[in-house]
Structure 1
Amino acid sequence: MSSSSDLRPRPLLPGGVPRSSRGLLAAMSALLGVVALSDLFAVFAGARIHTLTDEGHDVATAPQDLDAAYSLYQTAGNVQGTVYLPCAVLFVVWFFRMRRNTGLLAPDRFRRGPGWAIAGWFVPLVNFWMPYRIAVDMWGAGTPLPTDGEPYRTSIWPVNVWWGLFVSSTLFGRYAGSRYEDAESIAEVRVAVMQYMAADVLDVAAAAAAVYFAVRLTAMQRLKATEGPWTAAQKHTSK
């Protein structure tokens, strides 16, 4: 990056709030969709192994089919790993920018600096709750202020659903991975693959919830920045 690009002013919304990048949100949402598709591919590959290792299926008569199923499953895992990394990087970048933008709207809502929107994902153990707390604070910062003496609060269920699904799929996926690596019989492989399939389904749901959370939060932030915190609240209470 050239030094001249660092001197360019960031586009602002009324009130001096940086304009969030719609392109970044769109790219992140698209990558989350690709991640979900890779998970569905893994579910399909896992279902094939599940079928071929069924107790009623004669594996001895179709060893090549089983080898092909294992190869397909390995390919699905490689695809998942390939698409997950850029998606994770882009999501963290969006998360940091949104923390910075919402911090300008309501700095009193945050107990930690914007740097934690990045660092919080990489500190062991802390990464199981720090991003969630930051997301809740961002959600609160994007919420309109009280009007006419009536407190207005937006439900945080999108944050809870996204984080619950994300943590569940991550932990269950790690557990299934350890069971798959330690499997010594076809029956154990079959059970581990079933658990992996469940984790992949949870990950698909987590990706969808992440897109909904990101779109809703971005819309809230832009509305509050352009129309003002009280105007948005008055519109809500007038309905």
Structure 2
Amino acid sequence: MSASSDLHPRPALPSRVSPPPRFLLVGVSALLAAVALSDLFAVYAGVREYTLIEEEGGFAFASQQELADADALYWTAGQLQGATFLACAIGFIVWFHWMRRYAGVLGPDRFRNGPGWAIGSWFIPLANFWMPYRIAVDMWGASTRLPADGEPYKVSFWPVNLWWGLFVTTTLFQRYAGQRYENAEALAEIRDAVLLVMVSDILEVAAAAAAVHFAVRLTAMQRLKAAEGPYVSA
């Protein structure tokens, strides 16, 4: 964007904070994709286990070996989910913190707390259902293009809201489904619990896709704002 006659350039962006490297976004996207794939594998394992349990509560037409294989596959899927989620959580928080640091350069007036909260807010019980979202909203606003010719640039926050809404919904539903599965004793209860877990896995796939979209959009916004140059009205 070229400065018009009524716009004056601000000083250049401080060089002490470098923009997030491209490989960081690629890595986070790959980790989120791995989480989604592990969820889909868990859904497949859940369907296999679910179909072996009759609605009447008995294992009909299934040999002991088939039941053992289905249970082993379901357990393996759960282990894979846990490993991929842990790796993704670490990578996402690293990316989140780096994006917050650079957003602080692009829009320092948008934040009330330091960039360290982009890490710490995820580990505060109860507050971690709200604080990371507020930081993400502030980052989104700080990365928005500045007004041109006196006209404010409007940007939609729906990618942030969609990502966070799915993330919180998935987290709460997974806890509920996991508790139901752990407490299930009768075969009918196990069958119902497996169905709930499959639903939570599908929700996590949607949440991972929304997180990728949020990450890509935020990164593009930051690069565009940095490339255009910071300007203010005269």
Q: Is the 8 A contact 1:161 1:209 kept in 2?
A: yes
Q: Which residue of 1 aligns with 2:38?
A: 38
From the two aligned structures, give the one with the greater helix fraction: 1
Structure 1 pair 187–57 and aligned structure 2 pair: CA distance change class (3 A)? closer
Q: Which residue of 2 aligns with 1:78?
A: 79
Q: CA deviation at 1:56?
A: 6.9
Q: Which residue of 1 aligns with 2:203?
A: 202
TM-score by length of 1: 0.87
Q: Which residue of 2 aligns with 1:53?
A: 53
Counterpart check, 1:120 vs 2:132: no
Runs of 4+ aligned structure 1 residues displaced above 4 Å come to: none
Percent identical: 64
2:14 to 4, 13, 16: 16
Q: Which residue of 1 aligns with 2:158?
A: 157
Distance 1:111 1:16 in 2: 19
Q: Which residue of 1 aligns with 2:224?
A: 223
- Residue by residue over 1:87-124, the C-alpha shift from the partner in whole angstroms, topping out at 9 and shown as x without a partner, is 10010000000000010111101121111000000000
What is the alpha-carbon root mean square deviation over aligned residues?
1.6
Q: Secondary structure at the match of 2:29?
A: helix
TM-score by length of 2: 0.89
One-letter amino acid of the counterpart of residue 15, structure 1: L
Counterpart check, 1:132 vs 2:123: no
Distance 2:155 2:230 in 1: 13
Unmatched tracts of structure 1, length 5 or more: 1-13, 232-239
Q: CA deviation at 1:68?
A: 1.5
Q: Is the 8 A contact 2:163 2:210 kept in 1?
A: yes
Distance 1:229 1:153 in 2: 16
Mean Cα deviation higher: 56-65 or 186-195: 56-65
- Figure out how many residues of one structure are paired with residues of the other and give that number: 218
Distance 1:178 1:57 in 2: 20
Unmatched tracts of structure 2, length 5 or more: 1-11
